[in-house]
Structure 1
């Protein structure tokens, strides 16, 4: 990495921290903090979620672009990891889905978001959630710890996406799966064209393309990847559902399947 690119990366990280600190403060003051488009991001993605499922303050604090706890089809007794748990809505919904015999880890890099999530979890009276401070590029959990990884419009914010995918594969148990909501670009858009359509902190400039997503998943050995657009977020960019799974030990690749390190597109 050149000195210029290092400076740029450092500035982007600080921009993301400042942006989401401000969003946490908005939520603390009782305001909704969805961004950048309230018709696409935030509470709009959770139709049918009522106060019996999660506190209203957790719903209003949502900054995501989908409902990954539903995307991942969580089952009772599973262990779940939410990458970028924010105000806690997805960990609360996940904890209800996996039940008292399940466990949910919520990982976030901001003290302010963790504090907000802690209060929402206490209001929801959930005791099968553990909040962790850390980054999605260096997940503070042992290998093979979780059955399911969810994330809601967070992976696009990372400046080291290969590290994120490697960490996901590391902490997933054999046969584990991912169910992610994220902003994804059409393959026709270059990185520069994505940046023209929105900022990094607003989940646009850092979005991967469909092909890039599948290749990064394949590179760490995750199989059966799919990227399904759900709603337009900007010209050539969409909110999307991303699924994949970690193969069980000694599982052979299916004929024609994208192999680790190979091209998926």
Structure 2
């Protein structure tokens, strides 16, 4: 990942972790912005019941990967870009005390928040690890399931991320990801905007491109299903959330209307 974009992503999500304790957000928050979560519901109540409020408030996902992960008791799970730990804690419920869930994140502030939430929950089948999703610090074939929520699109080397996910999965393992995909072409200046990378948009792949990278990484039985389509009013809210109103003059919002969606992506090794 280019250092300029990687540092912007680190700073942005680190700042979110710092202010979580003093902020509020609804239970369906999204990577697009804290105040527009009501427009993109992510988790049904049964998934987040009993989780620390800080874990829910730090959630910045675009869909619910656990809904397609088919987690089983005793399985080992890795969450790429775990943030405050919401998907890690949800997964921990499904795999039970005999299973284990690892959360990987590059942001110190998010890892500190995740560990704080772990202490609040008093659970022992969860571990948080610092590292990059392009260089997963785990052994080959060490987990049964890899999950992620609106994080892979933040990487400039998505092919490498998917190859790493394939590497750490056991034979027959599953990838269950929520991510932003591009449903139609968008202006080139938006694709290249470093600021918009942190909002999960500029780095989005088309459905076809995503499927091709999954195949190249070695995955099979690939399914990509857009579930939350972003209309132009939502894109405008994203720009306002990130103080990027100056892009109004550079982007025809009609051209990006319905161009992006939160998708559920499943594949097998």
| Residue among 193, 201, 205 paired with 1:204 | 201
The structure whose RCO (Cα within 8 Å, separation 6+) is larger is: 2
State the 1:233 CA deviation: 2.3
Matches within 5 A, 1:1-265: 9-32=2-25, 34=30, 35-36=32-33, 37-40=36-39, 44-49=41-46, 52-186=49-183, 188-189=184-185, 192=188, 195=191, 199-234=196-231, 235=257, 236-246=259-269
Distance 1:55 1:227 in 2: 31
Instruction: Provide the aligned length of Structure 1 versus Structure 2.
Output: 236
Do 2:48 and 2:56's aligned partners in 1 also have CA atoms closer than 8 Å? no
Higher fraction of helix: 2
State the 1:49 CA deviation: 3.7
Unaligned runs of 5+ in 2: 232-256
State the 1:79 CA deviation: 0.4
Change (3 A) 1:126 1:208: same
TM-score in terms of structure 1 length: 0.83
Do 1:183 and 1:233's aligned partners in 2 also have CA atoms closer than 8 Å? no
Distance 1:81 1:216 in 2: 20
State the 1:22 CA deviation: 1.1
SS at match of 1:189: coil
Distance 1:233 1:149 in 2: 26
State the 1:195 CA deviation: 2.7
Distance 1:74 1:50 in 2: 13
SS at match of 2:38: coil
Moved over 3 A (4+): 30-35, 49-53
C-alpha RMSD of the superposition: 2.1
Change (3 A) 1:134 1:40: farther
TM-score in terms of structure 2 length: 0.82
Do 1:83 and 1:106's aligned partners in 2 also have CA atoms closer than 8 Å? yes
SS at match of 1:23: helix
CA shift digits 1:58-106 (9 cap, x unpaired)? 1111111112122212111110000000001110000011001110000
Distance 1:129 1:74 in 2: 15
State the 1:47 CA deviation: 2.2
State the 1:216 CA deviation: 0.5
State the 1:141 CA deviation: 0.3
Change (3 A) 1:50 1:160: closer
